[in-house]
Amino acid sequence: MPAPLTHPTDAPLTFRGNTAGALAPFVVFLGGVTLLALQGAPDETGFWPVLLAALVVGLALARDRARYCEAMLDGMSQRVVMLMLCAWLFSGVLGAVIGSSGFVTALAWLARRLHLTGGAYAVAAFAICALVSTATGTSFGTILLAGPLLYPAGGPAGADPAILMGAILGGATFGDSISPVSDTTIASSGSQDADIGGTVRSRLQYVVPAGLLALLVTGLSGGAVIPPAALDPSVSEMAVEPRALLMALPPVVVIVMLLRARHLIEALLAGLALACALALAFRLITPSTLLHIDATSFGAKGVLIDGMQRAVGVCIFTLLLVALVGTLQATDLLDRLVRAASRRAHSARAAEWWTVGVVSAAVLLTTHSVVAILAVGPFARQAGERFGLSRYRRANLLDLTVCTWPFLLPWFLPTILASSATAGGDALGMPLQSPLSVGLHNYYAMALVLAVSIAVVTGYGRRFEGLAD
């Protein structure tokens, strides 16, 4: 058997057509996803064939196909990818157990008792998710924990489905953009040699106005087209088991464990164990509901299986997406982009525009916020120092920019995950939302785009080194 061929991992991956060839797979991917999104693609499974087509195009254009395949595997085998897949699976099961216990119906009943209906319910959902995401620093975790619970309950509360899910995603975005323990905050401040505390304090002048604007728009437009009273009686008058509100404890336990710096997987498994124990102890579900053997199909069925199956779609999408991104990271395209920007930054304002533009291009191409920050961070620091821009200002422009596009556009994991979280709301009159619809109703991310643009154009918040920011 011949020895396997070896390929130099330090040499950039090249494509026929050079830059155009390297970008061609992403053009196929983005074009296909956009087309499906405009047609109301129901979930992430519709994007699988598009990703496969993009990978095939890349393989056909790669000059070294074995190196291209290795780059795909490198992208899929990252530790962070395995962490995401485990989180999708375990949180899917946790959500399924809590949902089957009657918690969502009880939550809807509580919202009606507190008069949180229509836009008020959507505003409350935004606030809850903003608190959770700010405390934990994880937008993904917030979507996974809060989305499947808060979204279905919005039906009896009379909340507009698209606006409600946009508010949930917006709250998750808020924490990602301001939390001191967010990975983007850590990466942006570290790349500019700025302390995290000062970075977060200086960021308030951007995120607070954006958050207030998002709350205002959500509150004014969050009422459902069909009022609660017009819903099917089977939905609006469902039997409520108030004891099911106890099922709020497992998500709280997960959040507390994350705040105490416990591992995400440990927290999710502990929350899952507690959810099963509570549901069984208070007879909210039966053991056979959790898991039973179906003799007719010769397989296992139950809530535990359903929860994992619910996560399969986003898991496969994630693997295919990071494989595609891995092939781009193996090229020198981002390095060339940064070098080109370095030659064109001739003033403080121009340096800021190029920082925003290049990090936007980086996150659009890599679909990974931290990777984009780390790739563009040295340029932002060098260009900013040349014109005396405050390190806090540079860190904020990097962080706030990468907290916009991934939460707006339909081919990013946050919008895909938020769309997936809307599954299961039909019983309460809440239809499945597409990634495009969810992103288009994320008013906080839109407000951040506006805030960053105004800050660069007008100089709002611009400080120079040596002065308090």
Give DSSP secondary structure letters for 394-461.
HHHHHHHHHTTGGGTSTTSHHHHHHHHHTTT-GGGT-----HHHHHHT-HHHHHHHHHHHHHHHH-TT
Q: Would you list the domain boundaries of the chain?
A: 79-317
Cα separation, 179 vs 199, in Å, equals: 10
Please state, for a pLDDT cut of 70, what percent of the chain lies above it.
91
For 326-347, the pLDDT digits (tens) are 898 888 887 887 787 777 778 8
Q: What is the reported pLDDT for 185? A: 87
For 345-393, the pLDDT digits (tens) are 788 898 899 999 989 988 888 777 887 888 888 888 888 888 899 999 9
Q: Is the model more confident about 299 or about 58?
A: 58
Q: Is 179 exposed, middle or buried (0-12, 13-18, 19+ CB in 10 A)?
A: buried
Q: What is the mean pLDDT of the chain?
A: 84
Are 317 and 416 contacting, i.e. CB atoms less than 8 angstroms apart? yes
For 288-325, the pLDDT digits (tens) are 888 878 767 667 888 888 888 878 887 888 889 889 88
Q: What is the reported pLDDT for 438? A: 93
For 233-279, the pLDDT digits (tens) are 444 445 567 888 888 888 888 878 877 878 878 988 999 999 999 99
6, pLDDT greater than 80: no
195, pLDDT greater than 80: yes
Candidate from 126-135, 161-170, 403-412 with smallest mean pLDDT: 126-135
194, pLDDT greater than 80: yes
Q: What is the reported pLDDT for 223? A: 66
Cα separation, 46 vs 49, in Å, equals: 7
pTM here is 0.80
Q: What is the dihedral of CA 345, 351, 354, 360, to 10 degrees?
A: 160
**Cβ–Cβ contacts within 10 Å for residue 286, how many?**
11
Cα separation, 267 vs 153, in Å, equals: 25
Cα 183 to the chain's mean position, in Å?
Answer: 13
Are 188 and 396 contacting, i.e. CB atoms less than 8 angstroms apart? yes
7, pLDDT greater than 50: no
As a whole number, mean pLDDT of residues 146-157 equals: 86
3, pLDDT greater than 50: no
Contacts of 243 (CB under 8 A, 6+ apart): 106, 282, 284
As a whole number, mean pLDDT of residues 403-432 equals: 87
Q: What is the reported pLDDT for 240? A: 65
Q: DSSP for 82-129? A: HHHHHHHHHHHHHHHHHHHTTHHHHHHHHHHHTT--THHHHHHHHHHH
Q: Is the model more confident about 435 or about 448?
A: 448
